[in-house]
Structure 1
Amino acid sequence: MEKTVEIERSIIKKYKKPIWHRFIGGCKDYRLVNAGDRIAVCISGGKDSFLLAKCMQQLQKHSDVPFELEFLCMDPGYRPENRAMIERNAALMGVPLHIFETDIFDTVVNIEQSPCYLCARMRRGHLYKNARALGCNKIALGHHFDDVIETTLMSMLWGAEVKTMMPKLHSTNYPGMELIRPLYLVRETDILAWKRYNGLTFLQCACRFTEQEADEGMHGARSETKALIAALRKTNPQADVNIFRSMHHVNLNMALGWTQDGQLRSFLDGYETQRTAAGGGPENE
């Protein structure tokens, strides 16, 4: 109990500005938590999801907006020692877990094409299903600021598409359910600092595919993108912030094409009409 209080106090006091204020800011800016919500905080066992759990507990404690929390953990086939670590950390930090089991790791371990994508989709479906069974209308995931900008760059460099990780999304397969990301504005470096300050050890990605990559010295697209952003920040300290802000300031007048509601649009649509409306005068750029 004493350690739990220390961990909670560190969020509100020592890391008030880089973690607590940014967490509160994200919840307010993107309207993530509303009165009457019953939110399933999804615990993967890593530092991000456990910090999210503690932030959500503190928000519930101090907020004037009444909402309820559940803490949901999916065991997709963890090794016994990894499952035990999650349970120890939950007890240490005062997070009451609902743990359910699946065979996702066994399902995707031999998939050659995009196993991580398939795993993520299957995890999401199981989380929605079990959250709804607990009477929840939202699931909260622990993605942070760095995840957002890395995903944005990855979509451009690997996916040939300008797309970001949204702070909240309506579920397409589970009507009435919504996904929220309350750590949207919190930086990973500050989460790591909070972890070290409290002497905590968390589960890293424990899937068999990731373990195989590490054994073989392979590097995925996300780790390469992370390294690219770190290199950019050496010459432009605002590079990551500018990537983030650019997704809030998309100039469709200067975009070659865009997709909305599944329909592809082009700047050529209505281009001649625009020239007529402008009077056919010289360009003003």
Structure 2
Amino acid sequence: MEKYQEVERSIIKKYRKPIWNRFIGGIKDYELIKPGDKIAVCISGGKDSVLLACCMQHLIKYTEIPFSLQFIAMDPGYNPQNRALLLSNCQLLHIPVKVYDSDIFRVTAGEEKSPCYLCARMRRGYLYRYAQDLGCNKIALGHHFDDVIETILMSMLYGAEMRTMMPKLHSKNFAGMELIRPLYYVRERDILAWKRYNGLQFLQCSCRFTEEGAHKPNGGGKRAQVKALIAALRADNPQVDTNIFRSAQGVNLETVLSWRRGSTARNFLDDYDGCKK
């Protein structure tokens, strides 16, 4: 059996419950794939996006939903070794990737306040454009369960609002395009276990800003700090990550000070006196 077949088989055999079933569960619960979709699977070269590509390749072989796939990677300025690793992994796993070049790392290098935010926005814009040029109506990203709960806490601690990373979004800048996250339920620890089981090596972080920051006392950025906080809380309560996720599903508007939807804002005082018995 060839290596790519062994890797694909491990997803539906050894890791069927923690990876495959949760992958399928997210797609069904949030209606991420519909008949006629043409989906661009975006590959950064890291473990998450490559696992996503493998899952999507297996899914399209057996699903009854008619849809098609393109696999795209955007090189924002990788060093030659990182680009070579991305390409060799795609070749090993029989992923027919199309690579596009950009100068995002160079453009964001001079940004001091929020280079990660700017880089993420620019990368997503490029991916939308490339996908649209290929005739796709959706892009699929490799964000997983841990990314979701970290985003919830980051928004509360640093953004002063309650928000999460949604399983799907309509693009505001590219008409008719949508973003989906099929690994929404998959835990990072299970992705790491799958990677180790198959003896695979992926890009860790090709961002020069993060690599440099990781050597500083509080390096790695706010997300790394929140990840460490969740790990510490989980040591005391193994359900803490699940509880964080469920908090975004169980918002009780009766006990929220204020909320908004679009341009409409509401405050609990708006109805407070009218609710008196």
Q: TM-score range by the shorter chain?
A: over 0.9
Deviation at 1:273, TM superposition (A): 2.1
Q: Is the 8 A contact 2:211 2:220 kept in 1?
A: no
The residue matched to 2:184 in structure 1 has which SS?
coil
Cα deviation digits, residues 59-114 of structure 1 (max 9, x gap): 10111101000001000000011000000000001100111001000000110111
Cα deviation digits, residues 91-146 of structure 1 (max 9, x gap): 00110011100100000011011110000000111000010000000000000000
Counterpart position of 1:211: 211
Distance 1:174 1:81 in 2: 33
The residue matched to 2:39 in structure 1 has which SS?
strand
Is residue 66 from structure 1 mapped to residue 66 from structure 2 by the alignment? yes
Distance 2:247 2:191 in 1: 24
Deviation at 1:262, TM superposition (A): 3.1
Counterpart position of 1:170: 170
Counterpart position of 1:43: 43
Cα deviation digits, residues 4-39 of structure 1 (max 9, x gap): 100000001110000000000000000001110000
Distance 1:215 1:226 in 2: 17
Distance 2:232 2:211 in 1: 26
The residue matched to 1:216 in structure 2 has which SS?
coil
The residue matched to 1:196 in structure 2 has which SS?
helix
Deviation at 1:214, TM superposition (A): 2.1
Distance 2:57 2:189 in 1: 22
Distance 1:203 1:263 in 2: 43
Long gaps (5+) in structure 2? none
Is residue 77 from structure 1 mapped to residue 77 from structure 2 by the alignment? yes
Counterpart position of 1:33: 33
Deviation at 1:207, TM superposition (A): 1.2
Counterpart position of 2:238: 237
C-alpha RMSD of the superposition: 1.0
For structure 1, which segment, 13-22 or 257-266, has the greater mean C-alpha deviation from structure 2 after superposition? 257-266
Cα deviation digits, residues 147-175 of structure 1 (max 9, x gap): 00000011001111110000000001111
The residue matched to 1:139 in structure 2 has which SS?
strand
Deviation at 1:232, TM superposition (A): 1.1
Distance 2:272 2:112 in 1: 44
For structure 1, which segment, 53-62 or 205-214, has the greater mean C-alpha deviation from structure 2 after superposition? 205-214
Distance 2:265 2:222 in 1: 26
Distance 2:131 2:150 in 1: 28
Q: Is the 8 A contact 2:210 2:221 kept in 1?
A: no
Counterpart position of 2:113: 113
Deviation at 1:270, TM superposition (A): 2.6
Distance 1:180 1:141 in 2: 6
Counterpart position of 2:263: 262
Counterpart position of 1:283: none
TM-score (structure 1 length as normaliser): 0.95
The residue type paired with residue 149 of structure 1 is: I
TM-score (structure 2 length as normaliser): 0.98
Alignment map for 1:101-140 (pairs within 5 Å): 101-140=101-140
The residue matched to 2:270 in structure 1 has which SS?
coil
Distance 2:117 2:52 in 1: 23
Counterpart position of 1:19: 19
Distance 2:59 2:243 in 1: 29
The residue type paired with residue 244 of structure 1 is: F
Distance 1:151 1:15 in 2: 26
